[in-house]
Structure formats: C-alpha cells, structure tokens
Amino acid sequence: MDGIRRRRRAIAHDLTVSLAAAAIVAAATKLLSMIAPGLLTWPVPRWLVAAALPGTAAAFFLLGRRLNRHPPQAFVVISVPTWSRWIADLVRQLADTLGSNNIDLVLKYVPYDYSGRNQLRKLDSLRKTRSHTVGGFIIAAQPQHVLPELVEFCTSTEYPIVFLDVLPFADRRDYPARSAFVGCDARKIGEQAAEWVARDLRRQAVVDPHVLVMTGDAQHGRHERFTEVLWRLIPAVTIDVIESGQFTRDRAYESATSYLRTRRRHGAAVHAVFCTNDEMALGVLDAVQARIAAGDDLTELAVIGVDGIAEVRALINADNTQLRATIVQDANRIAQTGVDILLRMRGGAPSPGPVLIPTELYPAG
C-alpha cells in the first residue's frame, strides 16, 4: 500500500511538472510573437516545429525534475532533559553512517523535556510524509508517560521508526509494525556497575560500606538494578539514591557537594559513588576534589560512571583521581545497527523489536 501511494504521488508530481513545462513553452512562444512578430512568420517546416516543441517541453520537464529532486533524509528527534557529549557522539555517528548511504540527517531537538509531552508536538510536525524521508530515529523522554501517543505516531507514519538509547516498550510485542529499538540494556549496565563496586569494596575490606547513587529522572533500570545486585552481593551495604543529578555535570556537582557536607557533619564515610552517566560522574568528581581540598579524607572513595566518553577514559587512564571506571556504550555500533535496521524495514523487512548492544567495563576487569 505504501508503494502504491508513493507511485501515485510520483505520477502526480511528474504530471504537474509536464503541464508546467507545456505552459512555459506556450508562454515563451506567445512572448516571442509579441516581441518579434515577423520572426514566427518565417517559413519553417512543420516537421521541425513538431520535433522542437516536444523536445523543448521534455527539456523543461527534466530540468524541473532535477530542481525539485530532494536528497533522501532521515530525522532524529532527541527529547532528553539535557544534552550530553555521549548523545552528541551518537548523533555524529548517525550522520556519518547515513552519509555513507547518501542520506542526510535532520536533527529535531526538544530541550528540557522532563515530562515527555514536549516531544509530541515535534512528532506531530513530522506526520506529513515526504517522498524523500526514508525514516526516523527517536530518543524519547519519559516514554512510559506517552506510550499511546508514541504507538499512534509509529502506526500513522509511512516510514519506519527506530528508537535509540531509551527503551520505549517493556514487551517486544508492544512494538508497532516497522518500529524497533537499538541501544544498551539499562539493567545490565546497573548489574555491571554493582559487580565492580562490590569487588572494589571487598578489595578495601570495608565492613559496613556506604554507597551513593547519583542519577536523574530517566534510565531508571540502571540504578534500580544496581541497588538490587549490590544488596545481594553485600547485604550490609547502605545505599543512598539522589535523583537530582539530571544527567548534567553542574547539577551532580551541586547535589554531591550538599550530600558530602552532610555526611561530613555526621562523621559518616562514603566509600563509592555510582553515577548513571559520565557527565554526572565528572560533576561528582569535581565535588569530591573540592571536599578533599577543604580537608575531607575521601582519597579512597571510588566513582564509576556510564557512557565511556573520552574525558572520563582519559581520567581513568591517568589513575590520579577518584574516577576509577565507566560502563562503555558503543555509540558507533548503536548508530550503525540502527541505520541498518531502519533501511531493512524501509525495504519491507519485519521489525526485530528491541536489539540490545553489549556494554563493556572500562578498564576491563
């Protein structure tokens, strides 16, 4: 059905261009007769006129086709509370991968969308199908609050949709036709982080460890699974969860500073901090180093993040800060897999549902 609609639109477009070309030729002939009335009275063989007019119309037709030709495009709607360097890297990888397939990427950014409602207005503007749109990607904010609207959008468009980074549907059976997800398993990330923290606490032989989780109002599976696994591995652990970090360095710095000061006043230690992205890990590190400069003993505290951005990996390699590890999400592999699935669904392949990309601990082990 989609192919029939596209062919009808193409035929209508070509017919419009042909009629416009004929009108231009007629207007040009009339104008020439007015400017040089004697010119068209010259004896001209009828066969020449018969050949010239269609040829001229065809030339205008081909010119119109070329002028109206749009390069194929894919859009990405990013609706996250804040922009991060990992998101920026993912978008760059998407653009590069699409570019290698001669497809342009159009960015639709919805900033500060804490409820998930703002993204719906952006999606509404994309409902009208364009012949040069091959599909779209969505990084959704608070998908659990707008599930009916996301399903309706996917089913109403004539092109495939691939969700990235934030898992939109809990069950693979909930995915509309020609929609999919490509990203990492949030719960697996939390599990990997908890296992690393447990090993580090045992290495230090901490008897009653105290751990802070810095997160925001998204990717809940990361910190929920982290607390489940860490409590199972170390039953005596105390875990505090702060959700005001909002995935930014500044907000994490403010929240961690207040938290560390409170712990210091009560004479209580903090042994590890799990941050659910690297931007917050850098903010926590800033707060930790500021408290060390103020005289607090936090040298044995360990900070672990998520994403594997270049600055965090460089600090881990330097081995002179409290930032000890990160869970790496491979933005390049996510982009390449997402584009491949989009183009396959565009060609008629069924939806694969959620496709999970493995994560890696950095440094390994």
pTM confidence score: 0.81
pLDDT at 6: 45
Q: Which pLDDT score is estimated for 168?
A: 95
pLDDT value of position 174: 93
- pLDDT at position 132 is 86
Query: Which residues of the chain are modeled with pLDDT < 50?
Result: 1-7, 25, 32, 40, 44, 47-52, 59-68
Indicate the domain borders of the chain. 2-67, 73-184+331-358, 187-328
Token output for 149 = 């609207």
Token reading at 333:
């592999």
Question: Domain 73-184+331-358 in CATH: superfamily?
Answer: Response regulator (3.40.50.2300)
CA pair distance 192, 358, nearest whole angstrom: 11
The residues near 87 (Cβ < 8 Å, ≥ 6 apart) are 78, 80, 139, 165
pLDDT at 19: 54
* Six-digit token string for 350: 């069924």
pLDDT tens profile 107-136: 998 887 778 888 998 898 888 766 789 999
- CA–CA gap between residue 221 and residue 86 (Å, rounded): 18
Quick one: pLDDT at residue 70? 73
Instruction: Report the alpha-carbon distance of residue 321 to residue 336 in Å, rounded.
Output: 34
Q: How much of the chain is helix, strand and coil, in % rounded to 5?
A: 50, 15, 30
- Overall fold of domain 187-328: Rossmann fold (3.40.50)
Instruction: Tell me if 73-184+331-358 shares its fold with 187-328.
Output: yes
Contact criterion met (CB below 8 Å) for 359 and 188:
yes
